[in-house]
Amino acid sequence: MACCGQQRAALVQDKATGTQTFQDTGTSVNIRFTQPSAVLVRGPVTGRHYQFNGSVNTLRVDARDAATLIKSGYFQPA
């Protein structure tokens, strides 16, 4: 039986390997945050940070991140 330290190391290794397989497509889209509060989100694919707030609720984000963010229900295509 593997200890949790070995499992954690395996997860980190898998995550690093998976990240390296993504290529920057250069494709970006506008999405809008539908809530009135400020939020800083990390793109689930690229790891980029996107900050939305009351005055900036529409941003251009990588299309690979946008698909997952829109599925969350807090964002919509702009």
Q: What's the average pLDDT block by block, 10 residues per block, for the chain (78 residues)?
A: 49 42 69 94 96 90 96 94
Give residue 25's pLDDT.
Answer: 61
Query: For the stretch 52-68, what's the b/e string if a residue is b when 16 or more beta carbons lie within 10 angstroms of its beta carbon?
Result: beeeebebebbebbbee
Give residue 30's pLDDT.
Answer: 97
Q: Which two tokens stand for residue 77?
A: 């295509």
Domains plus CATH for the chain? Answer: 23-77 (3.40.5)
Give residue 54's pLDDT.
Answer: 76
* CA dihedral angle for residue 67, residue 73, residue 77, residue 78, rounded to 10 degrees: -140
- Gap between the Cα atoms of 43 and 41, Å rounded: 6
Give residue 55's pLDDT.
Answer: 82
- Gap between the Cα atoms of 67 and 65, Å rounded: 6
